Amino acid sequence: MSDTENRIAEIEKAMLQPDFWNEPTKAQAIIKELQELKDASEGKGKYDRCPAVFNIVAGAGGDDAEDFARMLVEMYQRYAESRGWSVMVLDSNPNDHNGYRNITFEITGKDAYGIFAKESGVHRLVRISPFNSNGKRQTSFVLVEVSPSISNIKSVDINEDDLEISFARSGGAGGQNVNKRETAVRIVHVPSKLSVNVSSERSQQQNRERALSLLAGKLVAFNEEQQKRELKGLSVEKSVKIEWGSQIRSYILHPYQLVKDHRTNTETSQIDKVFSGNIQLFLDASKDLE
């Protein structure tokens, strides 16, 4: 039997003991571990039930791209809230216009990662720029990365020697509530160049543990994507370029209004509803994507 199978058998045996529920919090954690282990042993889609971690990065377009990042953040958060799901910001790098250079947040809900996984990719916005006094049309790009949040990081093979871990101070908006201790954590996985930043927790250790969980999820999503590319006979993709020609979806506000997913050809002219979180039609259409 594999280590996973042995652990499943061990937990199932423990659950039969009469004192199993004497410590409810511990028992619930063990049951959660059992579910993750079973999911991990089921093959494709094994992380679908995990929370979804979004990393949204502004690309070409300056202030417009960073404002577009904000619009996408609010779109996903409103969708989550409409379903009664929880949203937690793990790290953010805002600009002076309420936009984001980058932001990482977690959405927890039923099958969250399975539902959001296909949102990964470059998103494109075309509109009259509110930051341009000449009223010119501006095209901007934002990268959306979605990965599962994996609490049992032992299920993912991570070599500690492959990690570069650094610490920094966590700061609040406008210089308020600045934490004088270096609690914010950044971890880089050197072989893949994947990186995570977490500053939401109170202690350095808590941020480190959360960062490792995010990194595990990123590695899972990265490896799954590379396997799909190899099956299609494509070369391994080192990084995604946040620019024209690589977008999965376009949001056009001028000269007409249209949101179109280029992979499924799903489209709607009700762009205000989309940015208000009404994205179910795109999520449903993407279910059949490989």
97: amino acid identity, one letter: H
Boundaries of every domain in the chain:
1-42, 52-151+236-288
- For the ranges 53-67, 153-167, 272-286, the lowest mean pLDDT is seen at 153-167
Q: Read off the tokens for 245.
A: 């020609």
d(CA 242, CA 143): 6
CB 224 within 8 A of CB 239: no
d(CA 56, CA 145): 6
Torsion angle defined by CA atoms of residues 129, 134, 138 and 144, in that order, rounded to the nearest 10 degrees: -40
Confidence check: pLDDT of 208 > 80: yes
Class of domain 52-151+236-288: alpha beta
pLDDT, averaged across the chain: 86
Tally of CA atoms within 13 A in the half-sphere of 116 that contains its CB: 30
Confidence of residue 283 (pLDDT cuts 50, 70, 90): very high
pLDDT tens digits along 39-91:
666 557 778 889 999 999 999 778 999 999 999 999 999 999 999 999 999 99
Confidence of residue 227 (pLDDT cuts 50, 70, 90): confident
- pLDDT given for residue 172 in this prediction: 46
Indicate whether this model's pTM tops 0.85: no
pLDDT tens digits along 91-150:
999 999 999 999 999 999 999 999 999 999 999 999 999 988 787 899 999 999 999 998
CA-based end-to-end distance of the chain: 31
Confidence check: pLDDT of 1 > 80: no
Confidence check: pLDDT of 239 > 60: no
Give, for 33, the enclosing helix (H) or strand (E). helix 24-40
**Mutual angle of helices 24-40 and 3-15, in 10-degree steps:** 140
Confidence check: pLDDT of 257 > 70: yes
